[in-house]
Each structure stands twice: as structure tokens, then as C-alpha cells.
Structure 1
Amino acid sequence: MAGIWSDKRFVQKRSATLTSATASGAAPNEESDPQSWRSRFQQDYDRLLFSTPVRRLSDKTQVWPMDENDGVRTRLTHSHEVANLARSIGSRIATKRPGIFGDADLHLTVQPILQAIGLAHDLGNPPFGHQGEVAISRWFEHRKDWIFSMYDKNGKELPISVPEHLRQEFTNFDGNPQSLRLITKLQTHVAYAGIDLTAATLAASLKYPVSAENRRRDKPALKKLGYFHSEVDIVQWIREETGLCEGQRHPLTWIMEACDDIAYSVLDVDDVMKKGIISPDDVFAILASHNDLKDSDVVTRIHRSFDAVHAQKRRAEVARDVKIGYVRAHLIEALITTASASFLDQAAAIMAFTHETPLMEESVLCNVLKGVANQYAFSNSSVLRMEAIGAAAIDGLMSFFWAAISDRSDFNNLASRRRNAKAKFGYSLISPNYVENAVDNCAVTGGEGGVRYRELRLLTDMVSGMTDTFAIKLWREVNEVPDCP
């Protein structure tokens, strides 16, 4: 089991293949902490914390797109909370059952990996969250008759088409594999190694450890693709280092997934209360009226806390805020207890890589809270309005950047001259590190899918990497640019 805690970095393999100053097998500044004040896993967390993709999460939707209330969560605050919850659950599990993680040190290995994957789990999400994924998928679905196999919708067939099993990467676009791509390929690095995290951290970040062709809709841990074909070399290396196989989850991934569920269920409801859409008393009433929850410890604790607030006779708006804090604290504690107990109950199967059911799958409390979030947050008219605007923006930007990428003089050279002024403008906006990855042979693996696959990867890289505000602003600017004759 020691392999799953591998602290090797991909740069050691990547740099050995380059015919440059780094060809010695050790990239410059590979060891950023020569005094060993931090373990490599602590370095992983620090590298992520200071990275550009993490900063962008501050302007990416959690529930409320571009909300003016700065107390409402963004993807950044959500990700920090998932990281914090993951560390807490990992610590609780290790304390209750010493040795459960083998010889992995709690503070130097387990905690920093959990914090890192909690912080990184949503990095690949496009603007406007899940609706952004749907909008990107729909754009490809509407063009599937030609975009994977023809030069254009009226043109002849490509010499190399995108194979059927890879088309799902686009028609079912998902932020999870885009996260892996961001941290391993798209961030600039002297040896094309992205942020260059350890094998164990990368393995634990693979929420769905399968490719598009190996998805299993009947198994929750395998229902989505976890990595693109463009990162198959990275995944192969991860598995060489950790000993994990296709379809096998790292044990810490189960904890991260549970923390995402907890954050989604409790903290999205917390935002609904902060926005005044429902009150903490409403949430209590919903829980207290549920047959399976009305006599639970968490409902009893909330009731007692509310009585204490009432006894203080505070101003109504102050009492409301205090109650919100009590609801949040009691619900988080209850769900952390459930997740920890579930992991301990299933530890043998989890550590043997045979477990299949999410830790929070059967939590009545978690599921009821998700229902509250769906009813009062995700179905709120202001959310749906901004999602509709966001979907239109993404669709327009996809078309704009597709023209900028595809309308060039030499099909086989992605960097060749653009054929009209609007395409030149669009191409100039694409991030240089994304272009480099698509054009540079050192950064792109394999030939499956040919040039078209690389074109489509570049398109999704650019659009999915945008923040909400940037996407809306750019969409409006692009609409002011007339088409060239």
C-alpha cells in the first residue's frame, strides 16, 4: 500500500525526455524547500494555493452567479471549505483508528493531500458551473455531424477524424478531467509539467478514475470520465508510481467527495439563509417535520440553541444571524460524524480499492439539505436568469473562438496565419500557455484524433478557463465586432 503515498513528481520523467538544459533529469528549482521544512505533499498544497487557476475561482459560480453580496460563496470559498472539511475528517478517522492509513504520516502526508485535493477539485469548472458544462457540451452536440470528422460543415472529410470514444470528451464535457489537465499540462513550467504535483496528490484528485470509454453509469465512482486522452501519459505515470489501476480510487478521494457533498448540502443552504430567501427557522421546520430526522440529535441541538438565542432577547436581525451560525455548525458536525463513521465502517473495502458507494449516499440529512438547496437556490429565478445569460455567452464564445482557431492558412499548423481580421483578433486573445500546449509536440501526447483533437482541446481550454465576469464582458465585446467578408 506504500505506493499510493508516492511523493514522486512528473517533472523527473518529463525533463529526462527534453533535449534542453533540463535534459539531465532534474529540472531547475525542482526542490523549492531544500531545508525540508515542508513535506512534498505540503508543497503540493502551497503550489496550488498560489496558482492562477485557484485565484480564478474567486469569480466562478458556486450557486449565485456574479452575486453582489460578498458574503455569498464563490467556487474559491467553497473549495477552501471543502479542503478544511477534508482535513478535519481525515484527522478524525486517523485518531479513531491509528494506522488506518498505513505508514502515512497524518500531518506530513494525509492532511496536506486532503487539503490539496479539496482546493483543486473544482479548478476545471467552466464559467457558470454546471450550466457552463452543459452549454459547452450542447455546442459540440449541435455540431457532432461534422466537427469531429470534416474540415467544416460544408467541407470534405478530415484525413484523421476524432475517434468515437474520444468524442464523449466534448459532447459530455466535464470539469473534473479539465482540472487534471489544468494542473498537469496547462500551467507554464520549464519541463511542461504544469504545477508538478506528486503522484499521490494527483491520484487522489482523480474523482472518477476512468477514461471516457470506460465509464460505468451504474457505478457512482465511475459514472463520469476522470481524464482526457490528452493526459493519458500523466495517468499512466501516476499508476506506475502508485500501483492503482483503471477504475481504482485513491482512499482519500472518498473523503474529498464526501466533503464536497457536505459543503454543497450545508453551505449552499447557508447562503440561501444569508440572502434572506428562507430563514433559519424555516430550515429547522423542514428538518423537524421529516419523519427520519425529527427525533435526531442534530434537530435537538438546533432546537436548544434557538431557545438560548430567544432567551437573550436580541434584536431580530442579530438573532437571525446567530441562528444561522448555529444551524451551520450543528449540521456540519453531524455530517462530518456521518462521513467519518461511514469511512471507518467501509475501511477494508476502501483500502482494498473495491468500495463503490459514496460515503454520504445514504445520509438522510445530507439528501434533505440537498433538496432544500435545489428548491431555494438552484431553482431561484435570479440564478436561472444568470445561467441562461451565461449559457448564451458560452455558446457565442465557443463559436467565436472556433472561428479564430480553425480559420487559418495551414490546417496542419495550428500557429499558421489567420485568414481574416476577426480570426486574428480572436486568436490573439487565447492564452499563450494554451496555444503552446496545442502546438508544441513536447506538450501533446499521441496522434489519436489528429489535428482536430488538438483544435478542440484548445477551444475548451480557452473557454472553460474563463471566469464568469470575464466571459460576460468578452461576449459583449465580441458581439460588437462585425464578421469579415
Structure 2
Amino acid sequence: MAKQGSRKSAINRVGGSGEGGKTVSRPSPEELDWGRLLSSARKPAPDRKKSIYEKIKDHRTDHERDFDRVVFCTPVRRLKDKTQVFPLDMHDGVRTRLTHSMEVSNLARSMGTAVAAELSSMKGILDAQRNVPALLAAIALTHDLGNPPFGHQGEVAIRGWVERNESEIKKEAKSKFNRDLLKDFLLFEGNAQGFRILARLQHQDHQSGLRLTASTLRAFMKYPWTSDAVMGEGGPKKFGVFRSEKEVFDWASRETGLLGRARHPLSYLMEVCDDIAYSVLDIEDAVKKELVSAAELASFIGSDARFKDDSRVKNLLQQYEDDRDYLNTLRMPIEGKEEAPLSSKEIRDSQIDIIRSYAIGLMVSDAIGRFMELESNNGFGSLKKGIAEDFGSKALVDAFKSFAALRVYRHPSVLKAELQGHCVIPELMSAFWRSVIAHDHGTQSKVDEYVMSLMSPNYIRVYRKSIDLDLPVWYRQVQLVCDQVCGMTDSFAIRVHADLKSLGAL
């Protein structure tokens, strides 16, 4: 168990901010209570009997057990067939959502090792140098767990379906309709779905989710508030917990001392690891696919007035030029022949590999330094968005993101994935919605029975059990449909859609 600190509320010690720069709590110079922030408490499962596993001596810490639990859970494996940028790509070197998450997890673990070793405020905390890297690796591996098929456009497609079908939902709800509750789905968030998977859908004992520690659950959340906090101009634009998991969120907040909308400090490290990874590695994938080149990247950031005078950008460009000249002088021996220069493919891949390694090294070093500075004076509440918006490599990150937005994310294959999401997801949701309603009314047809048979028995079990949550039936019906669609991989969604279309079920 982690050493427990003062029971004083951390709301005045760990600041948090909503999107758009609206600070929601003020930090004080008081030292962070890492004893509580690394709480190893697990939410008790209702009526849970002791199992044989509790009698086995475990060499792991509680946070290492958390990491192992998420590694072995099914939703993590499904990430291998979910789009990162390029959908269902045949190039075996292009990243999926799983390989992206693994790389973010690796960066987070490395940062956690450095932070835990350096921060004096962690010195008295039992196993901090093991728990901090394990916790960060776990939340980074699962940071995209709730994303539906076809990337973030899948979220847009779900929101659009709910908006277009609001009248049907209202008709089903009758007098119990509450539009404030519907905001959970009108503003559907993969972040909240990820928390739901960890806290409820993916079962360790078929009763209470994976039963992760309070600190892992709380650090997972980038947006620790419900959809009713999304008020429009000047306030948060995203949220991190559905009303169905509010009680679990409140428990984890109390255990860690993070009340109100305060973010866990380690969530900032996880977030900057994600920013670093996708800002650099999405471009590397595009180079591997021969859509862009390292030379185009260098030319873009070297000529843009927003970035070209930044010292880190200059250093990166100088490193690129030195390595480009060096690669052009290399000769590789060929058996029975004179030495030959590197092929254009070898030079292209080597150039982006060097840029990736150098850029990530700079960004990681800056992120660690900025986190330790913020921790020393409890300045997390001063952040408008996150570390990537306020650290030494900001211009470098922005340069990579700008190039990707212009030259990578508008590629036809990426746009095709967005279009697939907008076509496939709404039709699947309509089919599942009709079957759920018909089943609940006892009026199902053969088609409805078949569609219902495709739904996860686990999700259906959670749907039936959630009657204890004091949420209206219509809310749980919509949520069951969202659970089913979000649990699909890209290729599985396409196959099911084609199957239902051939049977006239769409």
C-alpha cells in the first residue's frame, strides 16, 4: 500500500483547467500529496467472494497489477484493427491504434521512471519508483480505448446519429425524457467511453470492471467532469465521464483527494506523450507510404515564419542537413561488385528515422523538465490546456502538427476512412437501436433477433444490470447501442454492415 499523506482535500493543491483557457481551480504552493495521488485503493465489488487468486503471493505492486490487467484485456487487442491515421492499410510498417498506444505507453513509462527518481516529494512514498512508471504505462496504453471505429470521425458519426434520432429516442422515453442526460451522447466522447470500459464494461470478476486502483482510474481522465459541464463558449469542449460511471469517478476522486475538476498531475504527462507521439509518428507513417518526404517536412518548417526562428527547430534542421549529407556519402558493399550508394528508399527511410529520434528526444526532455518545474511549485492549474502548449518544444510540436494537417490528414485514403465512418456507423446504430427496442417491447422480428444475436452478451448483461444505477431505460438503451458500435474494429464494422445490408436489415 502506498504511504498515506494528509487527508486534507487536494482541490487547493492540484489545479485543473477547462479547455479554452478557463482555469477551474487555483493552485497553492503547498506540496502535492503523492501518498494520496498514488492511492492503491480498489473499489470493492458488491457481494464479491474471496477467490483462489487472493491466496497467491503476488510479486507485483498494485499499479503493476493494473498495467498487467489492461495489457490482457480484450479492448486493448482490438486496437490492432482500429485506425490511427491510415485505415486498414496494407503497408506492414504503418501504425494502427494499438502500435500508436504502445509507443505512447513506452514514452510515458520512460518519463515516469525519470520523474519518480528525481522528485524529492516522492522519496518517502513506498514503491513510487515502480508505481509511477507502471501507472503511466497503463493509462497511456488505454488512452484511446474508447474510440469507435474509423478514428475520431467515428465519434462525430455517433453524435450525428443521436442528434438525427432525438425524436425517436424522445418517443421511446415518453415523459421520462431528459435532454440534459442525452448530452452524454449528443456530445459523445471516446474519453468517457474509455473510462466506462475500464470501470464497468471489461470485467475482472463479472461485477465491477477491471477493479483498477483509484489513482489509475483518476489519472486516466483528461477531462474529469460530466457532459453537463460542457457549456459552450469559454468552457470545456470535451468531457471524460458518463453519468453511468459518475459514482465510480466520485469514489476515485475522493480516494486520491482530487475534488472538483482537478486533474491528476500524471494525466498531463500521459497527454504530452500522446501529443509527442502522433505529432511526429503520423508523419513518419506518411513518409513510409511515400506520400511525403523528409525534405518536404524540412522545407515546410524551415520556411514558415511561425517556426523557423525557434532554436529547437533550427537545431533539428541543422541535424537533418548534416545527416542528409552523410547518408549521401555512404556506400554499401555488394558481393562481387564495387560498393554502391544507398538506394533512394534507404535514404528516405533513414532520414525520417533520424528526424523522429532527434525530435522525440528533444520533446521528451523538455516535457520532463516542464513537469518537474510544475510539480515543484504546484503550478498545474496555470496550464491552459496541457504541457505541450507550454514547454520548450512547443514550436517544434506545432510545426509537425501543421505539416501533418496540411499534407497528411487530407490524403484521399484518410478522407475515405472518414466517409466510411459516416456511412457505416449510423446505419449500424439504427439497426441495433431497432433490435433493442423491439426486444424490450417483445415485438422482435427474425431480422431483429438476428441483429440482437450479434450484440455482445457482456454488454447486454451490463445493460440489464445497470437498472440499479437509477438511469432511465431510454438512456441505457442508447448506451447499449453505443457500447456495441464502439466495441467494433474497423474491419468488423465493415463486415457486419455488409452482412446486414445483404439481408435487408439496414
Contact kept? 1:85, 1:259, Cα under 8 Å: yes
Other-structure match for 1:7? 40
Give, in angstroms, the shift of residue 191 of structure 1. Answer: 5.1
Contact kept? 1:208, 1:224, Cα under 8 Å: yes
Other-structure match for 1:158? 174
Q: 2:362 & 2:229 partners in 1: Cα distance? A: 35
Contact kept? 2:187, 2:227, Cα under 8 Å: no
Return 417-426 or 97-106, whichever deviates more.
97-106
Match for 2:459 among 415, 434, 443?
Answer: 434
- Secondary structure, aligned partner of 1:225: coil
Q: Which amino acid aligns with 1:212?
A: S
Q: Which amino acid aligns with 1:160?
A: K
2:383 counterpart of 1:365? no
2:485 counterpart of 1:463? yes
Other-structure match for 1:198? 213
Q: Which amino acid aligns with 2:269?
A: I
Structure 1: 5+ residue stretches without partners: 152-156, 411-416
Give, in angstroms, the shift of residue 479 of structure 1. Answer: 0.6
**Following superposition of structure 1 onto structure 2, how do residues 315-354 of structure 1 map, counting pairs within 5 Å?**
315-348=343-376, 350=378
Give, in angstroms, the shift of residue 29 of structure 1. Answer: 4.7
Give, in angstroms, the shift of residue 243 of structure 1. Answer: 1.3
Q: 2:443 & 2:378 partners in 1: Cα distance? A: 52
Give, in angstroms, the shift of residue 477 of structure 1. Answer: 0.6
Q: 2:303 & 2:349 partners in 1: Cα distance? A: 23
Q: 1:373 & 1:102 partners in 2: Cα distance? A: 44
Deviations 1:420-457 (A, max 9, x none): 111111111110010000112xx455323x11011011
Q: Residue 112 and residue 276 in structure 1: after superposition, are their counterparts in 2 closer, same or farther (change >3 A)?
A: same
Q: Which amino acid aligns with 2:227?
A: A
Match for 1:112 among 134, 158, 162?
Answer: 134
Match for 2:412 among 354, 372, 381?
Answer: 381
Match for 1:188 among 190, 203, 219?
Answer: 203
Match for 1:258 among 272, 295, 305?
Answer: 272
**Following superposition of structure 1 onto structure 2, how do residues 174-323 of structure 1 map, counting pairs within 5 Å?**
174-190=189-205, 192-215=207-230, 222-291=236-305, 292-293=307-308, 295=311, 296-312=314-330, 313-323=341-351
Contact kept? 2:100, 2:277, Cα under 8 Å: yes
Q: 1:392 & 1:101 partners in 2: Cα distance? A: 53
**Count of residues paired in the alignment:** 456
Q: Which amino acid aligns with 2:350?
A: V
Contact kept? 2:182, 2:475, Cα under 8 Å: no
Contact kept? 1:338, 1:360, Cα under 8 Å: no
Q: 2:128 & 2:410 partners in 1: Cα distance? A: 40
Other-structure match for 2:428? 397
Q: 1:355 & 1:269 partners in 2: Cα distance? A: 27
2:445 counterpart of 1:420? yes
Q: Residue 193 and residue 483 in structure 1: after superposition, are their counterparts in 2 closer, same or farther (change >3 A)?
A: closer
Alignment RMSD, CA only?
Answer: 2.2
Other-structure match for 2:12? none
Higher relative contact order (CA 8 A, sep 6+): 2
Q: 1:194 & 1:460 partners in 2: Cα distance? A: 18
Other-structure match for 1:172? 187
Q: 2:231 & 2:440 partners in 1: Cα distance? A: 41
- Secondary structure, aligned partner of 2:408: helix
TM-score (norm 1): 0.89
Q: 1:388 & 1:397 partners in 2: Cα distance? A: 14
Other-structure match for 1:49? 71
Give, in angstroms, the shift of residue 27 of structure 1. Answer: 4.1
Q: Which amino acid aligns with 1:437?
A: V
Q: 1:96 & 1:457 partners in 2: Cα distance? A: 44
- Secondary structure, aligned partner of 1:408: helix
Q: Which amino acid aligns with 2:395?
A: V
Identity level (%): 35
Contact kept? 1:298, 1:334, Cα under 8 Å: no
Give, in angstroms, the shift of residue 284 of structure 1. Answer: 1.9
Contact kept? 1:248, 1:354, Cα under 8 Å: no
Q: 1:83 & 1:7 partners in 2: Cα distance? A: 20
Deviations 1:386-410 (A, max 9, x none): 3202220101101110111111353
- Secondary structure, aligned partner of 1:346: helix
Other-structure match for 2:29? none
Q: Which amino acid aligns with 1:334?
A: L
Q: Residue 309 and residue 218 in structure 1: after superposition, are their counterparts in 2 closer, same or farther (change >3 A)?
A: farther
Contact kept? 1:184, 1:193, Cα under 8 Å: yes
Q: Which amino acid aligns with 1:203?
A: R
- Secondary structure, aligned partner of 1:430: coil
TM-score (norm 2): 0.85
Q: 1:298 & 1:101 partners in 2: Cα distance? A: 36
Deviations 1:24-82 (A, max 9, x none): xx5425648x4332111111111111110000000000001111111101100010011
Q: Residue 101 and residue 184 in structure 1: after superposition, are their counterparts in 2 closer, same or farther (change >3 A)?
A: farther
Give, in angstroms, the shift of residue 337 of structure 1. Answer: 2.0
Return 178-187 or 460-469, whichever deviates more.
178-187
Contact kept? 1:230, 1:444, Cα under 8 Å: no
Q: Residue 350 and residue 215 in structure 1: after superposition, are their counterparts in 2 closer, same or farther (change >3 A)?
A: farther
Give, in angstroms, the shift of residue 112 of structure 1. Answer: 0.1
